[in-house]
């Protein structure tokens, strides 16, 4: 038994390249898969922590005039019997410059269901709220504070210094907290943040207060929006990419295994002839497979973790800036992650190796493997593949038909399944299509013997190449799809930014000074227009649909929406994009000025709204009924939003003043105005923002998001290239034998190599050309199905011919590179050796 | 841009957890390292009443009491309470019970309190309990507040007590004096109000209390010894209130009248370290006498229980009862909140010719508060004849 195993494995001593290829395939596939899984696991853990943070589940009270609440307000309300609790929130700078979020709480009045528990408290209450107090923080925040993490005992109770020299209260580890968040008693928080008696806000248990106390604004916790939906789609995207990489990687493995078996057929027969039972032989091969699988999977997981470490800060930054979710940049992996990684890789490997084992099991002791015999079988296989593609395609179509009748904004998983069906159909139909095309070409090229031979030979190679070509097709289509989506998104987003950010300066004046500053600005000649905004929260309580009144009765709802106020002046209106209007842009803006509303695309899709419908919004102060006159795009906003003119919003919702956009007159001195504002009104540096700066920040956030998608998609293409190379190496020697007679007939070696390169680049070109329509369909699916389901808004479909050409060219180059190695060895082989090989065969 | 939301509201944990937290914290500054408290440990020094007095002012015999100052808080003692119970009847003659308690607990000894504590300083933890009971119904609520004892104006705190004019409050729960005549004690006329719960399940009260007799000093001029080795507290009572007002239960108001008893007590180490709880009686007898009696588990002369009491005439004259003059015997227990609690007692004071049965008509008066205990109305009968002799309240801890 051992001898038999040693004999089997000895093959790899003679062909270390094959072993390397096998392991490479396994390694790359499992590295990509486990890397992405590592990111997902880590990020999910972070959301769970962020969602569990107590401050997120509470209603909040602030003063209507925007001034800070104080301890006196807190005591006054408590003594009036209102169950409010003070909360202080602020930023502190760690000694390494990282900004830390500080939350100061009063554990004695914090509502309910003791939120204090989420701060990870199981220690003493007294120690929390009496000197020297405590700093509760997650373990991954320790490094930010410069605390030695290796010694947990030492970390506990440390009092690290901040950038400004102040020391934090003794540390207490609370793993449930989000990263870079410090929770402490309000007494010490007020001291560290130097806030005196002021508060950030008062909080109360959800719905504990029916109305806001006089002079205050009550913001109810929004239970509808959960970062879950949004981030789920991001992760689904990542997972789909990783799965793709795994599949492509397994194509490599399949090819390498096939080769290893093919070359050992003789050895296997000898072993059988020597009396090793067929069953044992299969068991030994399976054992070999598992051994290789374990090696590959372990290596893959280790590099996967490394990959995740490299990508995670980007992912964390992206999610953090997009969704306001803090994601730990430290990787923390549960044990099942490791087991899962190995299981997936081994499962995939056995799937890929099953065919090989099947063939080995049916190996006849005396039979000889014939390329021609293979080909006969391959015809049957092609028919089967073509047939198998039909139900997959039909399934995809059925799913699409089902999805189109679903309410908008749902069916994210179904959307991805449609894409999977699309890619699978493409892959299954590729070999039959290639075979048909080649046969057709062969008929066209009668009379050109070498070309005809090349085509016929390519037909013969197809069984081996088809897997690699399928991998290439999938990788190319996905690559095209993703790059068009990213490109399209980028274009749309930048346009939208330009349309939205029309003012040159954005000012956030303190509420108390608003009127004074506004009046002063009105008197400045350099300021051409002031665009005031306001913001309020309301509940969409009823929708009265205009169309088909009989069929669609008014719907009673309870949906929190933001209400946003803009100034429809001459600067804004021409540039503000509208998707649909009731009676044209002009009429829509006129109605808007008269007090009617616009809704964003998210709300329109979510509630099936169209211009002409009537909304009833409920606020603590009463009800307001509004006509929808237009729908506008609102990229990147996860929430439903209703747009009103600022003056209407102020009137109807008593919304506090918000920011002020300043459009400057031509030639006005921006710097002087900013300077005058800061000195005259004592505004902080945060109060004034430059439009260019906002654009820069937005663009950076955006670029980060997609750098990860791009990186993964490029990696997939690399894996596809490797698959192709492996397939070619697998048949290199056999091909050489086939070329020898041609050389003997007088075809020069250079010509032979050219023919070989042309064959391969030709078939890659065909595959790439087939990938183009597939890729465009994938893009359409991404923007019209996936995006709507994930974000609630549709992206316009943008195609980039340059990118498409580049992808096709990449495919050909990858094929040529893959073909270069076998060609080089052919170039090096003396023709005599070729003949000798031919004779030996 | 987005607000995080919490789909997963944490529930269930709170009370149990806070209980452990508070039990731990009440054990005071002597313990520094976090640890989990065992049931036994929690009982051993119930609510920290047996903790060492280190750094705090000790209650001693011979302390001279001054009023109205001593109606106010004593922040340099570790513990203090204003504790009111009332036996009431509604218009239909149905009995009701009411409890209102304000506890003060110093978190740091005076010497350790910072000079410039900042506005949120919290060297005092205040805790208030309220309960309304009628028949099988028993509703209760609990609230907390932090207060810095060096704050210049206590009126601007969430909780506190001022001596002159007398006012005790936590949030909107309050006990306020309405005495204007000079020479009368501030506690002679009070209004008491508290409420809790959502609209349809609201419970609470607004009561007027008129004292029909003088303040009573227990023990040795107000020093009430609590164990044989000399631990004790300053303990005074106003047991002579007549009550009228309104009690709300299940959102429905009831006009009530009846009697009430106010206890004032402060100490830094109430119990000996080996004492684990008590049974405490405050009884209004039909003949106008009042009786206070308690049994502390452990701390007696031979390691037995420590008994003490005060016999109060209708005029307010007192006789202290020690364990030779007083006997308390549990007769039957009831299962309450997973515990066996004695709800029927025999109380004997031979010198006063008393042989009484004290029985709780409803056993479910457990207070599942941070520090949990049994507090409920009791009826008093003659032990031999079974004739009604009065009403009162019973408090039992350490079960």
More confident residue, B15 or A678: A678
Inter-residue contact A597 to A627 (CB < 8 Å): yes
Of A784, A703, A712, residue with least CA distance to A238: A712
Token pair in block for residue A819: 């073909």
Q: Say whether pLDDT at A309 is over 60.
A: yes
Q: Say whether pLDDT at A574 is over 60.
A: yes
- pLDDT given for residue A112 in this prediction: 61
Of B392, B107, B137, residue with least CA distance to B247: B137
Q: What is the mean pLDDT of residues A496-523?
A: 78
CB atoms within 10 A of CB A472: 29
| Residue A541, C-beta contacts closer than 8 angstroms, at least 6 positions apart | A556, A557, A558, A616, A617, A618, A623
- Residue A522 burial (C-beta neighbours within 10 Å; 0-12, 13-18, 19+): exposed
Q: Are residues A71 and A208 in the same domain?
A: yes
Asked if A227's CB is within 8 angstroms of B3's CB, the reply is no
Q: Are residues A184 and A253 in the same domain?
A: no
Q: Are residues A85 and A213 in the same domain?
A: yes
Q: What is the mean pLDDT of residues A198-208?
A: 86
Q: Are residues A301 and A314 in the same domain?
A: yes
Q: What is the mean pLDDT of residues A5-33?
A: 77
Q: What is the mean pLDDT of residues B378-393?
A: 96
- pLDDT given for residue A650 in this prediction: 83
| Furthest C-alpha separation in chain A | 106
Rounded Cα distance, A432 and A383, in Å = 7
Any CB–CB contact under 8 A between B195 and chain A? yes
Q: Are residues A42 and A128 in the same domain?
A: no
Q: Mutating which of B51, B122, B369 best tests the A interface, going by the most A Cβ atoms within 10 A?
A: B122
Return the residue of B nearest to A118 by Cα.
B10
Q: What is the mean pLDDT of residues B383-390?
A: 95
**Last-in-domain residue among A640, A664, A688:** A664
- pLDDT given for residue A247 in this prediction: 67
Q: Are residues A26 and A122 in the same domain?
A: no
Please give the residue range of the domain that contains residue A638: 527-664
Q: What is the mean pLDDT of residues A743-757?
A: 82
* A181-185 and A99-105 strand pairing: parallel
- pLDDT given for residue A226 in this prediction: 43
Q: Say whether pLDDT at B31 is over 60.
A: no
Q: Are residues A158 and A72 in the same domain?
A: yes
Q: What is the mean pLDDT of residues A20-43?
A: 72
Rounded Cα distance, A643 and A596, in Å = 9
Return the residue of B nearest to A636 by Cα.
B1
Of A835, A631, A816, residue with least CA distance to A737: A835
Q: Count of domains in chain A?
A: 3
Token pair in block for residue A710: 């791009």
Asked if A123's CB is within 8 angstroms of B6's CB, the reply is no
**Last-in-domain residue among A162, A186, A219:** A219
- pLDDT given for residue A150 in this prediction: 63
- pLDDT given for residue B215 in this prediction: 95
Asked if A116's CB is within 8 angstroms of B123's CB, the reply is no
Q: Say whether pLDDT at B16 is over 70.
A: no
Q: What is the mean pLDDT of residues A390-407?
A: 81
Chain A residues touching residue B195 (CB < 8 angstroms): 81
The model's pLDDT over A232-265, given as tens digits with 9 standing for 90+, comes to: 555 665 666 666 666 666 666 766 676 677 667 7
Chain B residues touching residue A72 (CB < 8 angstroms): 156
| Residue A96, C-beta contacts closer than 8 angstroms, at least 6 positions apart | A144, A146
Chain A residues touching residue B28 (CB < 8 angstroms): 126
More confident residue, A765 or A279: A765
Q: Are residues A600 and A551 in the same domain?
A: yes
Helix (H/G/I), strand (E/B), else coil: A803: helix
- pLDDT given for residue A364 in this prediction: 60
Please name the member of A56, A71, A131 whose beta carbon is closest to the beta carbon of B114: A131
Asked if A121's CB is within 8 angstroms of B7's CB, the reply is no
| Phi, psi at A181, each rounded to 5° | -125, 130
pLDDT more than 90, % of chain A? 4
A464 min Cα distance to partner chain B (Å): 52
Asked if A115's CB is within 8 angstroms of B10's CB, the reply is yes
Q: Say whether pLDDT at B194 is over 70.
A: yes
Q: Mutating which of A51, A79, A106 best tests the B interface, going by the most B Cβ atoms within 10 A?
A: A79
More confident residue, B304 or B392: B392
* A201-204 and B339-349 strand pairing: unpaired
The model's confidence at residue A228, banded by pLDDT at 50, 70 and 90, is very low
Chain A residues touching residue B14 (CB < 8 angstroms): 112-114, 117
A560 min Cα distance to partner chain B (Å): 12
DSSP element (H, E) containing A524? none
Token pair in block for residue A575: 């540039």
Q: Say whether pLDDT at A118 is over 50.
A: no
Asked if B120's CB is within 8 angstroms of A113's CB, the reply is no
Q: Are residues A170 and A250 in the same domain?
A: no
Report domain B30-396's class. mainly beta
More confident residue, A15 or B356: B356
Q: What is the mean pLDDT of residues B7-33?
A: 29
- A68 DSSP assignment: P
The model's pLDDT over A608-627, given as tens digits with 9 standing for 90+, comes to: 888 888 888 887 777 888 88
Average pLDDT over chain B, rounded to an integer: 84
The model's pLDDT over A408-467, given as tens digits with 9 standing for 90+, comes to: 556 667 777 787 788 888 888 888 888 888 888 888 887 788 888 888 888 887 877 777
* Distances, alpha carbon A475 to alpha carbons A24, A486, A649, B163, in Å: 18, 16, 51, 82
Chain A residues touching residue B12 (CB < 8 angstroms): 113
Q: For the ranges A60-69, A790-799, B212-221, B287-296, which has the lowest average pLDDT? A: A790-799
The model's confidence at residue A227, banded by pLDDT at 50, 70 and 90, is very low
Asked if B29's CB is within 8 angstroms of A122's CB, the reply is no
Asked if B146's CB is within 8 angstroms of A637's CB, the reply is no
What would you report as the CA-atom Rg of chain A, rounded to the nearest whole angstrom?
Answer: 33
Chain B residues touching residue A322 (CB < 8 angstroms): 1
Q: Is the peptide bond before A24 cis (omega within 30 degrees of 0)?
A: no
Specify which of A177-186, A483-492, A497-506 reaches the highest per-range mean pLDDT.
Answer: A177-186
More confident residue, A509 or B103: B103
Of B330, B218, B234, residue with least CA distance to B282: B218
Please name the member of A50, A122, A187 whose beta carbon is closest to the beta carbon of B120: A187
Inter-residue contact B344 to B360 (CB < 8 Å): yes
- pLDDT given for residue B385 in this prediction: 95
Average pLDDT over chain A, rounded to an integer: 76
Inter-residue contact A485 to A779 (CB < 8 Å): yes
* Distances, alpha carbon A294 to alpha carbons A17, A20, A24, A291, A343, in Å: 19, 14, 13, 5, 9
- pLDDT given for residue B28 in this prediction: 29
Please name the member of B5, B112, B171 whose beta carbon is closest to the beta carbon of A225: B5
Q: What is the mean pLDDT of residues B346-357?
A: 95
Q: What is the mean pLDDT of residues B349-361?
A: 95
Q: Say whether pLDDT at B73 is over 90.
A: yes
Strand locations in A121-199 (E): 135-137, 171-173, 181-185, 198-199
The model's pLDDT over A541-564, given as tens digits with 9 standing for 90+, comes to: 888 887 655 566 667 777 888 888
- pLDDT given for residue B37 in this prediction: 32
Interface of B with A in 143-172 (CB under 8 A): 144-146, 156-158, 169, 171-172
Chain B residues touching residue A196 (CB < 8 angstroms): 119
Q: Say whether pLDDT at B39 is over 60.
A: no
Q: Mutating which of A83, A114, A116 best tests the B interface, going by the most B Cβ atoms within 10 A?
A: A114
More confident residue, A350 or A394: A394
Chain B residues touching residue A225 (CB < 8 angstroms): 2-3, 5
Any CB–CB contact under 8 A between B9 and chain A? yes
Rounded Cα distance, B234 and B61, in Å = 8
The model's confidence at residue B347, banded by pLDDT at 50, 70 and 90, is very high
| Phi, psi at B241, each rounded to 5° | -75, 140
Any CB–CB contact under 8 A between B7 and chain A? yes
DSSP element (H, E) containing A658? strand A657-664
pLDDT more than 70, % of chain B? 85
Question: In this predicted complex, what is the ipTM?
Answer: 0.85
The model's confidence at residue B158, banded by pLDDT at 50, 70 and 90, is very high
Asked if A78's CB is within 8 angstroms of B172's CB, the reply is yes
Token pair in block for residue A398: 């059925």
Any CB–CB contact under 8 A between B14 and chain A? yes
Please name the member of B13, B112, B114 whose beta carbon is closest to the beta carbon of A114: B13
- pLDDT given for residue A459 in this prediction: 83
Q: Mutating which of A69, A101, A111, A124 best tests the B interface, going by the most B Cβ atoms within 10 A?
A: A124
- pLDDT given for residue B54 in this prediction: 74
Rounded Cα distance, A636 and A234, in Å = 13
The model's confidence at residue B266, banded by pLDDT at 50, 70 and 90, is very high
Any CB–CB contact under 8 A between B11 and chain A? yes
Q: Which residue has the tokens 């990111």?
A: A39
More confident residue, A539 or B85: B85
Inter-residue contact A11 to A263 (CB < 8 Å): yes
Any CB–CB contact under 8 A between B122 and chain A? yes
Inter-residue contact A174 to A150 (CB < 8 Å): no
Percentages helix, strand, coil for chain A, rounded to the nearest 5? 60, 15, 25
Q: Say whether pLDDT at A496 is over 90.
A: no
- pLDDT given for residue A686 in this prediction: 54
| Phi, psi at A410, each rounded to 5° | -125, 170
Any CB–CB contact under 8 A between B107 and chain A? yes
Token pair in block for residue A715: 């990696």
Number of A/B CB contacts below 8 angstroms equals 155
Q: Say whether pLDDT at B17 is over 80.
A: no
**Last-in-domain residue among A664, A685, A704:** A664
- pLDDT given for residue A705 in this prediction: 54
Inter-residue contact A178 to A49 (CB < 8 Å): yes
Return the residue of B nearest to A640 by Cα.
B2
- pLDDT given for residue B290 in this prediction: 96
Q: Say whether pLDDT at B349 is over 90.
A: yes
Return the residue of A nearest to B193 by Cα.
A81
Token pair in block for residue A734: 């056999």
- pLDDT given for residue B256 in this prediction: 97
Rounded Cα distance, A586 and A709, in Å = 40
- The count of C-alpha atoms lying within 13 angstroms of the C-alpha of A605, restricted to the half-sphere facing its C-beta, is 23
Per-position DSSP letters for B299-351, written without gaps between them: ESTTSSEEEEEEEE-TT--EEEE-TTT-EEEEEEEEEETTEEEEEEEEEEEGG
Token pair in block for residue A561: 């929406």
Q: Say whether pLDDT at A521 is over 60.
A: yes
* One-letter-per-residue 3-state SS of A191-244: HHCCCCCEECEEEECCCCCCCCCCCEEEECCCCCCCHHHHHHHHHHHHHHHHHH
Specify which of A374-388, A563-577, B94-108 reaches the highest per-range mean pLDDT.
Answer: B94-108
Token pair in block for residue A645: 């003119």
Q: Are residues A23 and A110 in the same domain?
A: no
- pLDDT given for residue A144 in this prediction: 80
Token pair in block for residue A773: 């329509």
Rounded Cα distance, B169 and B191, in Å = 12
Please name the member of A114, A322, A324 whose beta carbon is closest to the beta carbon of B4: A324
Please name the member of B3, B14, B123 whose beta carbon is closest to the beta carbon of A112: B14
Q: Are residues A535 and A594 in the same domain?
A: yes
Any CB–CB contact under 8 A between B198 and chain A? no
| Residue A164, C-beta contacts closer than 8 angstroms, at least 6 positions apart | A92, A93
Chain B residues touching residue A191 (CB < 8 angstroms): 118
Any CB–CB contact under 8 A between B118 and chain A? yes
What is the domain partition of chain B in residue ranges? 30-396
A571 min Cα distance to partner chain B (Å): 25
Q: Are residues A101 and A5 in the same domain?
A: no
- A607 DSSP assignment: H
* A622-632 and A597-600 strand pairing: parallel
Is A823 among the domain residues? no
Helix (H/G/I), strand (E/B), else coil: B246: strand
């Amino acid at each position: 038994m051992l001898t038999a195993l040693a004999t089997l494995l000895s093959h790899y001593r003679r062909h270390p390249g094959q072993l390397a290829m096998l392991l490479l395939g396994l390694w790359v596939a499992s590295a990509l898969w486990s890397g992405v899984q590592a990111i997902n696991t880590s990020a999910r853990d972070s959301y769970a922590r962020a969602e569990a943070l107590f401050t997120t589940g509470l209603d909040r009270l602030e003063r209507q005039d925007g001034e800070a609440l104080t301890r006196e307000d807190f005591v006054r309300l408590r003594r009036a019997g209102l169950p409010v609790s003070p909360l202080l929130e602020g930023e502190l700078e760690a000694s390494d410059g990282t900004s830390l979020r500080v939350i100061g709480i009063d554990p004695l009045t914090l509502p309910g269901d003791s939120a204090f528990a989420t701060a990870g408290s199981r220690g003493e209450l007294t120690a929390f709220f009496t000197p020297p107090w405590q700093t509760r923080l997650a373990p991954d925040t320790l490094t930010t504070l410069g605390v030695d993490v290796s010694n947990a005992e030492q970390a506990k109770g440390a009092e690290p210094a901040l950038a400004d020299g102040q020391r934090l209260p003794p540390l207490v580890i609370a793993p449930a907290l989000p990263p870079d968040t410090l929770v402490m008693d309000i007494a010490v928080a007020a001291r560290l943040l130097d806030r005196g008696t002021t508060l950030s806000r008062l909080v109360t248990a959800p719905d504990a207060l029916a109305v806001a106390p006089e002079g205050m604004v009550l913001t109810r916790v929004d239970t509808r929006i959960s970062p879950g939906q949004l981030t789920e789609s991001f992760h689904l995207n990542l997972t789909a990419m990783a799965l793709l990489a795994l599949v492509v990687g397994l194509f490599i493995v399949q090819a390498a295994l096939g080769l290893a078996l093919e070359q050992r057929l003789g050895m296997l027969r000898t072993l059988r002839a020597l009396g090793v039972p067929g069953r044992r032989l299969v068991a030994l091969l399976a054992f070999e497979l598992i051994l290789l699988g374990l090696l590959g999977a372990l290596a893959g997981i280790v590099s996967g973790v490394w990959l995740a470490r490299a990508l995670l800060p980007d992912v964390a930054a992206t999610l953090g800036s997009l969704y306001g979710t803090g994601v730990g940049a430290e990787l923390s992996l549960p044990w099942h992650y490791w087991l899962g990684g190995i299981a997936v890789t081994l499962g995939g490997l056995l799937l890929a190796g099953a065919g090989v084992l099947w063939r080995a099991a049916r190996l006849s002791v005396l039979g000889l493997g014939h390329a021609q015999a293979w080909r006969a079988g391959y015809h049957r296989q092609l028919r089967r593949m073509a047939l198998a593609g039909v139900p997959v395609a039909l399934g995809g179509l059925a799913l699409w038909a089902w999805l189109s009748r679903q309410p908008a904004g749902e069916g994210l998983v179904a959307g991805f399944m449609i894409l999977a069906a699309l890619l699978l159909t493409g892959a299954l139909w590729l070999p039959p299509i290639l075979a048909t095309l080649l046969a057709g070409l062969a008929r066209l090229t009668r009379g050109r013997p070498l070309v005809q031979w090349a085509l016929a030979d390519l037909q013969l190679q197809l069984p081996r190449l088809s897997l690699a070509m399928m991998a290439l097709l999938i990788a190319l289509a996905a690559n095209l799809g993703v790059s068009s989506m990213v490109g399209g998104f980028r274009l749309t987003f930048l346009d939208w930014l330009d349309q939205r950010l029309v003012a040159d300066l954005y000012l956030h004046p303190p509420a108390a000074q608003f009127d004074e500053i506004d009046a002063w600005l009105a008197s400045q000649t350099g300021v051409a227009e002031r665009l005031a905004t306001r913001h309020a929260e309301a509940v969409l309580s009823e929708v009265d649909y205009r169309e088909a009144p009989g069929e669609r009765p008014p719907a009673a709802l309870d949906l929190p929406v933001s209400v946003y106020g803009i100034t429809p002046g001459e600067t804004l209106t021409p540039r503000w994009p509208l998707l649909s209007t009731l009676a044209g842009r002009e009429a829509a803006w006129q109605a808007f000025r008269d007090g009617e509303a616009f809704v964003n695309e998210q709300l329109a899709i979510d509630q099936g709204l169209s211009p002409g419908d009537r909304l009833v919004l409920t606020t603590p102060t009463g009800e307001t009924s509004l006509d929808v006159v237009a729908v506008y795009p609102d990229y990147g906003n996860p929430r439903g939003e209703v747009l009103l003119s600022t003056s209407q919003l102020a009137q109807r919702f008593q919304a506090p003043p918000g920011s002020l956009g300043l459009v400057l007159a031509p030639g006005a001195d921006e710097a002087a105005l900013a300077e005058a504002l800061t000195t005259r009104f004592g505004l902080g540096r945060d109060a004034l923002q430059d439009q260019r700066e906002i654009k820069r920040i937005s663009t950076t956030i955006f670029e980060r998001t997609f750098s990860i998608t791009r990186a993964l998609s490029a990696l997939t293409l690399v894996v596809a290239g490797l698959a192709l190379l492996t397939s070619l190496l697998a048949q290199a020697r056999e091909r050489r034998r086939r070329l020898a007679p041609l050389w003997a007939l007088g075809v020069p070696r250079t010509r032979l190599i050219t023919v070989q390169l042309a064959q391969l680049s030709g078939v890659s070109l065909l595959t790439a050309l087939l990938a183009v329509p597939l890729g465009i369909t994938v893009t359409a699916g991404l923007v019209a199905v996936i995006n709507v389901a994930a974000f609630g808004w549709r992206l316009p479909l943008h195609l980039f011919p340059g990118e498409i050409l580049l992808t096709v060219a990449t495919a050909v180059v990858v094929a040529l590179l893959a073909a270069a190695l076998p060609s080089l060895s052919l170039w090096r082989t003396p023709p005599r050796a070729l003949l000798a090989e031919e004779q030996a065969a | 841009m987005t607000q995080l939301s919490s789909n997963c509201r944490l529930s269930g944990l709170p009370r149990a957890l806070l209980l452990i937290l508070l039990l731990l914290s009440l054990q005071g500054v002597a313990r520094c390292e976090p640890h989990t408290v065992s049931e036994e440990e929690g009982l051993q020094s119930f609510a920290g009443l047996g903790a060492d007095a280190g750094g705090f002012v000790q209650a001693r015999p011979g302390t001279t009491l001054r009023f109205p100052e001593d109606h106010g808080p004593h922040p340099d003692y570790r513990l203090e309470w204003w504790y009111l119970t009332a036996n009431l009847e509604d218009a239909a003659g149905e009995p009701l019970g009411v409890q209102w308690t304000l506890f003060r607990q110093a978190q740091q000894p005076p010497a350790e309190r910072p000079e410039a504590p900042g506005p949120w300083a919290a060297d005092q933890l205040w805790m208030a309990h309220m309960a309304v009971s009628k028949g099988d119904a028993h509703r209760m609520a609990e609230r907390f507040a932090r207060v810095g004892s060096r704050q210049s104006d206590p009126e601007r705190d969430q909780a506190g007590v001022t001596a002159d004019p007398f006012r005790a409050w936590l949030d909107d729960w309050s006990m306020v004096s309405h005495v204007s005549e000079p020479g009368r004690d501030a506690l002679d006329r009070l209004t008491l109000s508290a409420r809790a719960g959502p609209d349809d399940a609201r419970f609470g009260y607004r009561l007027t209390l008129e004292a029909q007799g003088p303040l009573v000093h227990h023990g040795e001029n107000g020093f009430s010894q609590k164990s044989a080795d000399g631990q004790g507290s300053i303990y005074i009572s106003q047991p002579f209130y007549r009550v009228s007002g309104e009690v709300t239960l299940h959102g429905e108001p009831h006009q009530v009248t009846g009697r009430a008893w106010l206890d004032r007590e402060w100490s830094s180490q109430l119990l000996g370290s080996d004492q684990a709880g008590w049974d405490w009686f405050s009884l209004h007898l039909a003949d106008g006498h009042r009786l206070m009696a308690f049994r502390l588990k452990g701390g007696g002369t031979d390691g037995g229980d420590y008994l003490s009491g005060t016999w109060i005439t209708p005029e307010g004259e007192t006789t202290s009862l020690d364990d030779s003059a007083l006997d308390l015997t549990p007769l039957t227990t009831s299962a309450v909140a997973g515990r066996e609690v004695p709800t029927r007692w025999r109380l004997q004071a031979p010198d006063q010719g008393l042989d009484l049965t004290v029985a709780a008509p409803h056993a479910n008066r457990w207070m599942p508060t941070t520090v949990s205990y049994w507090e409920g109305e009791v009826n008093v009968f003659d032990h031999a004849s079974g004739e009604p002799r009065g009403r009162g309240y019973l408090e039992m801890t350490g079960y």
